[in-house]
Structure 1
Amino acid sequence: MAARRRNNRWSLVGTGIGLMLFFWVADCYLDGVFFDEGSFVQQILHPDGQELAYRIQSMLFLLVFIIYAWRKSLTQERISSSLEEALTNLAAEKARSEAILAAMPDAVSVQDTDMKILYQSPGTRKVMGDHVGEYCYAAYHQLPSVCPDCNLVESFADGLLHRRETSSPNERGPRHVEIISAPLRDAAGRIIAGIESVRDITDRKIAENRLRQQLAAIEASMDGIAILNPGGEYLYLNKAHASIYGYPSQVELMGKSWHVLYPADELQRLESLIYEGGDKQRGWRGEATGQKKDGTLFPQEISLTVLEDGGIVCVVRDISERQKSEGEIRKLNDSLCQQALDLQATNRELEAFSYSLSHDLRAPLTGLYGAAQALAEICSDKMDDTGLTLLNAIRQGCENMEELIEAMLVLFKVSRTELSYAEVDLSALANAIMAELRLRNPERAVEWRFVEGIVAWCDPHLARILLENLIGNAWKYTARHDHPRIEFGQKSSDGAVQFFVRDNGVGFDMRDAQRIFKPFQRLHRSGDFPGTGIGLATVQRIIDRHAGRVWADGAVGLGATFFFTFPLPDKE
């Protein structure tokens, strides 16, 4: 284009020179041929002075015209060049702006002051469709008039930028968008249009919600959590962190160094541990002594994590109560150790007592019984009724004492025996005990009821002792009933299995229900029903060893029922 304009300029110069030569030759021809002022050659080579002046004047006129045309052409060329450059720059700027808008993830559109769409970015056209030339409220929202909460209307009214967030339901959850509007002005400053940008901020909102939840969790933590910059100054701390050090608000520590929270000697120790050992492992954990705002010292546990930029995440826990508890636990352990030693001493004494029962007491008792038996054999014919009665009392007392010693030994063994758990058929065990009782007392006719297949997880030996005592008691206390009945069974209550032995004997008053399981506590006279008062105490001890329960239910003259439970076996 520039070369073409240069050619046009030189063509103009050539035309001007040609016209000058043409006028010179034409004037010579007219003067020599038509006006007879000499020959044509003479007019060209030797014109007179007047004619030469006339010709020079004409040439000067043409020269001025040519110079004017030349300058006019230069001015026009500059204007055209400037216009072309402006058009090129405008096209490039338009292309650049459209490229920027096309590359933006936001949906951008331009509306005039009547809300008619002038431009839509590719992102807007992809989501909303091509609606250039239509009204935005009709195209985007299918409304007959401007939206009541339109940001762009507010920007047209006050000439300012406006920002608004809104949300709408979506099959994947709420969709959050941010709408930004701003007015566009002409060179005179008049608002001629407006630009509106819509950005999907759903991911940002989700991240903000997660961050708020995490901050809420940090704020709710009982541990003190803080973030420090590489210089050791607080950038963030939760309420617990400030509270641990006796500060009512986090604001008092913001921007301060952690050095104010430790005494000088502890500060020196921590700096060597944290900055020398901690940097190598990107963290440190240990115990320290902190200093509260009022100067009080307290023990603490610290966990530090060194960040990439040299900052530190610090977690602090006050362990005053824990150390106090540990001290109490140590005292309790010492006390338990002492109790264990005392228990060992008591066990040794019990063993000595058991030995005395088995040997030291039985030996003289056996001698006494033997002497009474010999006396009865030798001198029974020489004694009167009173003597024989006293002699029988001696022998009966020895037998009762022997029975009591045997019962106490059983109680002692029950307390000392190591438990060996197994699945025990209680029905078979109870039936065998009843058969033994019938063999020893064949003259008694007792109705026996039991359920087959009752099993429990317990020690087999102790289970036999337990049932021997319960069924033996039922056998004893039904002796005076015309139609004695003893029953063994089980029932379920609150998901637990309860075993029971029931009889229709003499029963007992429920006010004495707790007393019957205590050693030597008898509810009936020994003359009516013989016994030692140890049997039910032995039952209680066996159930205690199994961590079960035992209780009784009865009424005077209506019999008694003794319930007991065994814990379920460990599933592991």
Structure 2
Amino acid sequence: MSLTRTDNSPEIPDQESLLRRLADLSRDAQILHNGEDGACLYANPAARQLFSRLASPLAPTDWVTYTQTLRRHGEIRFRRSVTLRDGGTIRLEIHDFFLATASGGVIASTLRNINHRHRLVSARAAQRQRLEMVLGALDEGITVQNRQLRILYQNPAHIAKQGDHRGDYCYRAYQGLDAPCPGCLVVKSFEDGEAHSRQTQAMTENGTFHMEVLSLPVHTANGEVEAVMEVVRNITPHKLAEESLKETERLRSQFITTAAHELSTPVTAIVGYSELLTAPPQELQLTQEQKEEFSRLIHDKAQFLAETIDKLFDLSRIDRGAPLPLFLTEFDLCTQLSQSLRHVELLFPSHCFTLIIPSNPLYVTADPSQVARLLENLLHNAVLFSANNSEVTLELTPHQDEVVISISDEGCGMNETQRQRAFEPFYRGHTKDTDSGGLGLGLSICHQIITAHSGSIALISEVDAGTQVFVTLPRHTLPPT
């Protein structure tokens, strides 16, 4: 079979003519150069318009060398910024290739204005830089992973905690596994394109570390999941606050039960003894000694009720965050300590008490009734949590601008948890073997009294080795402003 050209067949254009036609169809600037000396053979309309705007020509300074290089490589591609006559600049992508022709050769050049693309790339780079700055400032650990779960990005917080594993597979870097972890949230986000989260915890040398893990898919313009961002948030403070709130509610509930019991017991005794005292003589004959004993018991129970109600008012004030009202006056603290200790001695004759105070009066400016209440609360605690015949010591030590009161006992003592929570409202940290009742408000009220006087309170305690409480008061408490 042979091909024979007829007179009606269209004329086949030569290579240069074909290149010119193709150049006219292009939106980019297209130029044909002589392959020997670089002379311009043809420029399409886009090229002529571009040249009319240029401040200086684009031709290489040494066409011979450039042509030889182009012949060896076949094509050369580069980018260049050029100045326009109006003073502006544009960025061009230039693609030259050599085409052998019957006349020796042609250099075809394509010049593409990539200003818009360059601006987009620069804007994207700036946006990425800003995003990395934001992610870098966060405390949460953040990684970005591709479909193979290879780590593309880690923010500084994540690197500081987990080490730099960019380029590694996450399951291998963090878990030492050869396959993704079961239930991996990143895998789920790649599968369904949705965000996922879960809470987990880990044991560290500082205790339990609670965290929330979130997987956030990154979508392309057509909706495909291109990558997944994994965020690890430290929620330990929130968990501790949540647990503390639950514990506070539990203690409140326990307090209500205890308060009901503490109030009902003396009320029952008061009603019972008063009924005996008011019974008709023909029904019940009481001796004078019995009447006095019942009257004393009624008085003691009523006094206990009054003290309990005072504590309930204190609780209300603590809940509201209201300051403790103070009535400041100057008084001898040595006398106050002696009176408080004497009162406790009468109530608890089964204990041995020691008072150590300066020989001379020690005057302070404070609220004497609140200081007395503070001392009696602390002395009561020392007695209630120590055995009969054990020693309780009350000591006063003066300093230049303050005084230190210490109360020490030989009682059951406290463990670490009990020491840390001793001043919390409602907290009653002793076991059923050492629990002596009460509302769990004594030490928290003491703390409030000390705070109102701008002082401090601390304790040292060991299990089965007793407790020592230190109260520091300024010599002159300033009235609240």
In our comparison, the structure showing a higher alpha carbon Rg is: 1
Which one has more relative contact order, counting CA pairs under 8 Å at least 6 apart? 2
Q: TM-score range by the shorter chain?
A: 0.3 to 0.5
- The TM-score with structure 2 as length reference comes to 0.40
